[in-house]
Chains A and B, each alone.
Chain A
Amino acid sequence: MVPQDRPALRSIPIPKDRRYQPRHVGYSALKRFTVRELLSYGLLFFALAALLVTIYSLLPWLIKQVPAFVVGGELSGWGQVVYGVLAAILGFTVVAVAALILILMLRKYLALVQNRYGPLHYGPAGAFQTVADAIKLLVKEDFTPGKADRLVFTLAPLIVFVSALLLLTVIPFAPGWVLADTSVGLLIIIAAGTIGAYGVLLAGWSSDNKFGLLGGLRATAQLISYEIPLALSLLTVAVWVGSLNLSAIVEAQRMWWTALPLVISLLVYLIASLAEIKMVPFDLPEAESELVAGFNTEYSGMRFGFFFVAEFGELFLLPAIAVTLFFGGYHQPLAGWWDFAEVLRGWGGFGEFLANLYGLFWFLLKTALLSWLVMWLRATLPRFRDDQLMELCWKVLIPLSLVGLVVAVVLRLVFK
C-alpha cells in the first residue's frame, strides 16, 4: 500500500511550525479570567439547565398525549409511574451535567489561581474535558479485589451516588419546579446525608484493604459528626420560617433573606457542608498525599466515577440548599419591593414560563457564587488533621449551632 492509498487519519491538527502552542480560544490564561469565558460557561450551563427543566415542565403534557396514561384528564397510575421515572432521569441528568461542569470549573479556577492553563484541548477552552474523563472512566477495566465482598463493593458507590441525588428531589429551582414538593423536605435532606455516610463506610469496609478501612472509618466519623451541626442549622431555619417544606421556606424569603437574621446558622451550615462534601480543609478521608489513600482506594473505573460524580454533585447541591434556605432561593434580591418576575408573569402563559426561567437564573447564579467560594477554599487552605476536625465539630460548631437556634427562637418570638 503506497502512502497516498492510506486513508487520511483524522488527528489533532498540529501547528505548522511544530512549536507547542496551546489551542485556546484567543485568550491568555496569564491574564485575568475573562468575562467572556465566564459568561460562556455560565450561559452554557444555564441553557442546559433551562432545557432540562423545560423538558421537565413539559413532561405532564407529554405523558398525557399517550391516552393509556390518562384517566379522567389526570395522569393514571401507570402514567404517574412513567412520569416519576422520567422525572428521575431528568433529575439525574441535571445533577450529572452540573457535576461535570463543576469539575471543569474547579480545574480552570485552580489553574487561574495557580498561574497556569487548565484543561485546554478538548472542546472550546477545554469544555469537554470532563466528558473525556468520563469516557476514560467508562472504558476502564471493571475490577473488584479478590477477597472483597462483591455485593457490598458494588452497592457502596451506588448508595453514595443515590443519596447525593436524593438531595436534588426537594430543591425548588423555580416557582413550582420541584421534583417532590413534600412537606418534610428538610428531613429528606438530613436523611440523604446520613445514607451517604453509610455508603462511605460500606465502601471502606468492603475493600478488604486496611488503608481503605482506615480511610472509610475516618470518613464516616467525620460525616456523621458533621451531620449534627448541619441538621441543627437546617432546623434553625425551619424554626424561623415555621415550616419544613422547602418551597414554603423560599416563599417566606421574598422580602428578607434568612441569611440576615440567622448569620450564625449560615456560617455553621457552610462549614458543615464543607465537611459533608469532604472538601478541603476537611478532605482527610480522601487525601492522596496522606498515608492512607482513603475509602475509595480499591475503586477504579466507573465505580470510582460514581464517587467522583457524587462528590461534585454534592458540591452543586449543598450550596443549592444553602441558597434555598438562606439566600432566597429563586427570588431576586429584595423581591418584596419590586420583582421583575411579576412583570414577566403579567404577559400571560408564556410569561409564566419566562418568570420561572428568571427565577432559575437567580437560583443558579447564587449557587454558582457559593460553589465558587468552596472552590476558593480548596485552592487556598491546607487540610485539617482528623482530631482537629472532630474538635472543631464537637467543640465549636455544635455549640454555635445551638446558639443560633436560640437566637432564631428569640428573634421569631420578637418579630413574628
Chain B
Amino acid sequence: MTMLRPTELAPVPGAQEMLVNLGPQHPATHGVLKVVLGIDGERVTRAVPHIGFLHRNHEKIEESRTYHQVIPYLDRMDYVSGLQNELPFCLAVEELAGIEVPERAKYLRTALFELNRIISHLVWIGTYMLDLGAITPFLYAFRDREAALDIVERTTGGRMLPNYFTFGGVRRDINPRFWQELTGFVDYLEGVLPEYEALTVEAPVFRARTVGIGVLPPAMAINHGISGPMLRASGVAHDLRKDQPYDAYPWLDFEVITRREGDSWARSKLRCQELYQSIDLIRQCARKAPRTGPYLGKGRLKIEAGRQRYRAVEASRGQLGVYLYSDGGPGPYRSKHRSPSFTNLQVLPDLFVGQRFSDVIAILGSMDIVLGEVDR
C-alpha cells in the first residue's frame, strides 16, 4: 500500500542497514500493522510504522447517522473490549444533552466496563505470550475469557459487539442472576490469576526477555500523550477513573497503580495488577449496586447547535476519548475518536531504535495495541 518515502530510503550515516518489513500480517493478533525496520546487524536503526490497513472511515459514517445509530459503530473500534468504546460517546452526549443516568445504571455500566477490562487484558496476556513462544497461556486465557464472554452475552446479546450502553444508562435490563454470576466469575478468576502470573509474568524466561527492554521515560510519555498502563508503568499516576471520574467510580474505593521502571516487564506486571484491581472493583459494584431501580434515565436527546465536548474514559489501553461537535441535528456533526492505541503507537520509533532485533516483538506486545482503534 504505502510505499517507502525518500526519507525512509535515505541511509542512516555510518550504518549498513538492511530494510526489513514487519509486515501487515502478524502471527499474533496485533492486527494489520506494518513497521519498516532498518537493521544494522542486530540493532534497529530505524523504525517507521505504517497504519491505515484497517481504516474503515468511522468518523465520516457517523456524521450521517443519528446518535443512537452511532453506538454500534463504536464497538468495532477496539473490538477486543467491546463495551468500553461506547462509554465516552454516551458520556459526552449525556453531558451535552443533560440526560440523567440513574444509580443502578451507573453501577451496571461500571461493572461491565471493568469486566471488559478483564476480557481485554486476558487477550493481551495470551497473545503476548504467544509472541514470545509460550503457547499454553493463550489457551488458558481464552478459556477463562469464555466465562466472562458468556456473562456479557447473556446481558447484552453479543460477545464481541455488544451495543448495550446508551444515553442515560443501558439498553435492556439484566437477568436476575447477573450479579451472582459476575461475582462467581471473579472469584474463580482470582483463584487462577496467581497461576497465570507464575506461568507468564513471573517466569524467569519472560523476565529475561522483558526486563529493561523498551524503557519509556515519564517525561516523554506525558509529552507524547501516552496513557493507560504504558504511562502508569513509567511512574505517572494518571488514571481518568480517579482524575475525572464517571459512572460509579466516585463511589468506589481503589488506588491508582503505578510502577517505576517503565520497561516492558513493568507494563506487563501492571496489567496483571490491574486484573486484580478490576476484580476488586467488580466486587464493590456487586456489593453496592441497588437491585431495583430504573436502568435508563430520562432526558431529551437534543443538543443545541455549536455545542462541543471532549470526554475521555480510562479504557484498558489508555485514554479513550470522543470529541463531539453538534450542529443541532439528529446526529453528531463531527465525532472524532481519540484512541489510546493510535497515540501510544507514536512512540514506537523511539522505543524500537537502538534495541535488539529480537526485542522488537517484546516491546510491541507490551504496548498492547489493537489496530481496530488505531485505524478506526
Direct A–B touching, Cβ under 8 Å: yes
Which of B20, B205, B360 contacts A383 (CB under 8 A)?
B205
Which A residues are CB-close (under 8 A) to B18? 210
Neighbouring A residues of B20 by C-beta, 8 Å = 210-211, 291
How does the 8 Å CB contact mask read for A104-147 relative to B, with 1 for contact and 0 for none?
00000010011110000000000000000000000000000000
Q: When chains A and B are docked, how far (Å) is the Cα of A281 from the Cα of B27?
A: 18
Interface assignment of A84: CB less than 8 Å from any CB of chain B:
no
Residues in A with CB closer than 8 Å to B37 are: 291
Residues of A with C-beta under 8 A to B140: 114-115
Q: Does B358 lie within 8 Å of A382, measured CB to CB?
A: no
Q: What chain A residues lie within 8 Å of B130 (beta carbons)?
A: 289
Given contacts A289-B27, A289-B361, are A281 and B135 in contact (CB under 8 A)?
Answer: no
Q: B209–A288 contact, CB under 8 A?
A: no
- Asked whether any CB of chain A lies closer than 8 Å to the CB of B347, the reply is no
- The 8 Å CB contact of B358, one of A114, A280, A385, is A385
- Dominant secondary structure of chain A at its interface with chain B: loop
Q: Are B134 and A382 in contact (CB under 8 A)?
A: yes
Q: Are A290 and B135 in touch, CB under 8 angstroms?
A: no
| In the complex, chain B residues whose CB is within 8 Å of the CB of A113 | 136
B133 neighbours in A (Cβ, 8 Å): 280-281, 283, 287, 289, 381-383
B357 to nearest A CB, angstroms?
7
Return A81 CB to nearest CB of chain B, in Å: 46
In the bound complex, CA of A284 to CA of B130 (Å): 13
Enumerate chain B residues within 8 angstroms of A283, measured Cβ to Cβ. 133
| Contact flag A386-B358 (CB < 8 Å), given A114-B140, A115-B143, A116-B139 | yes
**Residue of B at shortest CB range from A386?**
B358
Check A379 for interface membership: any CB of B closer than 8 A. Answer: yes
Is the Cβ of B136 less than 8 Å from the Cβ of A384?
no
Q: Is the CB of B208 within 8 A of A385?
A: yes
> 1/0 per residue B198-210: CB within 8 Å of A?
0100010110110
* Contact with A385, one of B27, B134, B356 (Cβ below 8 angstroms): B356
From A115, A288, A382, B206 is in contact (CB under 8 Å) with A382
CB distance from B248 to the nearest CB of A (A): 35
Residue of B nearest to A110 (CB): B135
Q: Which of A287, A378, A385 contacts B209 (CB 8 A)?
A: A385
Interface residue tally on B, bucketed by range: 20 to 34
With contact pairs A385-B209, A388-B208 given, residues A114 and B135 touching in the complex (Cβ less than 8 Å): yes
Task: Enumerate chain B residues within 8 angstroms of A284, measured Cβ to Cβ.
Answer: 358
Instruction: Tell me, yes or no, whether B256 is within 8 Å of chain A by CB.
Output: no
Task: State A159–B61 Cα separation when bound (angstroms).
Answer: 59
User: Is the pair B134, A380 in contact by a Cβ cutoff of 8 Å?
Assistant: yes
Q: Is B129 touching A382 in the complex (CB atoms < 8 A)? A: yes
Interface: B86 (CB within 8 A):
no
Chain A residues positioned under 8 Å from B205 (CB to CB): 281, 381-384
A84–B132 alpha-carbon span in the complex (Å): 45
Classify chain A: how many residues form its interface, as a range.
20 to 34
Is B22 among interface residues, defined by CB-CB distance under 8 A? yes
Which B residue sits closest to A291, measured CB to CB?
B22
CA distance A283 to B133 in the complex (A): 8
Interface string of B116-144 (1 = CB under 8 A from A): 00000000000001111111100110010
Interface members, chain A 350-384 (any B CB < 8 Å): 378-384
Q: In the complex, what residues of B have CB within 8 A of residue A388's CB? A: 208-209
Q: Which residues of chain A come closer than 8 Å to B135, judged between CB atoms? A: 110, 114, 378-379
Set of chain B residues within 8 Å of A211, measured between Cβ atoms: 20
Contact between A381 and B356 (Cβ–Cβ < 8 Å)? no
B42: chain A residues at CB < 8 Å are 387
Whether B357 lies near A380 (C-beta < 8 A) is no
Q: A387: nearest residue on chain B (CB-CB)?
A: B356
Residues of B within 8 A of A385 (CB): 208-209, 356, 358-359
How far apart sit A280 and B134, CA to CA, in the bound complex (Å)? Answer: 9
- By the criterion CB–CB under 8 Å, are B139 and A115 in contact? yes
Nearest A-chain residue to B132, judged by Cβ: A382
The distance in angstroms between the C-alpha atoms of A280 and B22, with both chains bound, is 23
Interface centre among A113, A114, A284 (most CB of B within 10 A): A114
Q: Closest chain B residue to A293 by CB distance?
A: B27
Contact B208 A289 (CB under 8 A): no
Alpha-carbon distance A325/B299, docked complex (angstroms)? 81
Q: A289-B130, A387-B356 are in contact. Are A114 and B136 (CB under 8 A)?
A: yes
**Residue in chain A with minimal CB distance to B18:** A210
Q: How far is the CB of A294 from chain B (nearest CB, A)?
A: 12
In the complex, per-residue mask of B1-38: 1 if CB is within 8 Å of any chain A CB, else 0: 00000000000000000101010001110000000010
Contacts of B199 in A (CB 8 A): 380
- Please measure, in the bound complex, the distance between the C-alpha atom of A384 and the C-alpha atom of B136, giving whole angstroms: 16
Q: Are B208 and A384 in contact (CB under 8 A)?
A: yes
B-contacting residues, A273-289, CB 8 Å:
280-281, 283-284, 287-289
User: Known contacts A287-B133, A289-B131, A388-B208: does B358 contact A381 (CB below 8 Å)?
Assistant: no
| B99 → chain A closest CB, angstroms | 45
Please tell me if the beta carbons of B360 and A291 are within 8 angstroms of each other in the complex: yes
Whole-angstrom distance from the CB of A208 to the nearest CB of chain B? 15
On whether the beta carbons of A290 and B134 are closer than 8 Å, the reply is no
Closest to A289 in B: B27
Closest approach, in angstroms, between the C-beta of B139 and any C-beta of chain A? 4
CA–CA, A70 to B177, complex, Å? 85
A115 to B143, CA, bound (A): 8
Which chain B residues (181-228) contact chain A, with CB distance < 8 Å?
199, 203, 205-206, 208-209
Q: Quick one: which of B42, B139, B205, B360 has the most chain A CB within 10 A? A: B205
**A206-227 to B contact mask, C-beta < 8 Å, 1/0:** 0000110000000000000000
The A282-329 residues at the B interface (CB cut-off 8 A) are 283-284, 287-291
**CA separation between A384 and B203, bound complex, in Å?**
12
Residues of chain B with a CB closer than 8 A to A114's CB: 135-136, 139-140
Chain B residue, CB-CB nearest to A383: B133
In whole angstroms, what is the CA distance A113 to B199 when docked?
13
Residues in A whose Cβ lies below 8 Å from that of B26: 289
| Nearest-CB residue, chain B, relative to A283 | B133
CB-based contact A380/B358 at 8 Å: no
- Please measure, in the bound complex, the distance between the C-alpha atom of A379 and the C-alpha atom of B28, giving whole angstroms: 17
Contacting residues, chain A, for B356 (C-beta < 8 A): 385, 387
B196 to chain A, nearest CB (A): 13
Query: For B27, what are the chain A residues with a Cβ–Cβ distance below 8 Å?
Result: 288-289
Question: What is the CA–CA distance of A281 and B203 in the complex, to the nearest angstrom?
Answer: 12
Q: Are B357 and A291 in contact (CB under 8 A)?
A: yes
What chain A residues lie within 8 Å of B359 (beta carbons)? 385
Q: A289-B361, A382-B129, A383-B133 are in contact. List 8 more A-B contacts (CB 8 A).
A: A115-B139, A281-B133, A288-B27, A379-B135, A379-B136, A381-B205, A383-B134, A384-B209
Interface pairs A-B: 10 shortest CB-CB:
A383-B133, A114-B139, A382-B134, A382-B132, A289-B27, A382-B133, A385-B358, A382-B205, A289-B131, A379-B136
Between-chain CB contacts (< 8 Å), 14 pairs: A110-B135, A210-B18, A284-B358, A288-B27, A289-B26, A289-B133, A289-B361, A290-B361, A291-B37, A291-B357, A291-B360, A382-B134, A383-B133, A388-B209
Q: B residues within 8 Å of A by Cβ?
A: 18, 20, 22, 26-28, 37, 42, 129-136, 139-140, 143, 199, 203, 205-206, 208-209, 356-361
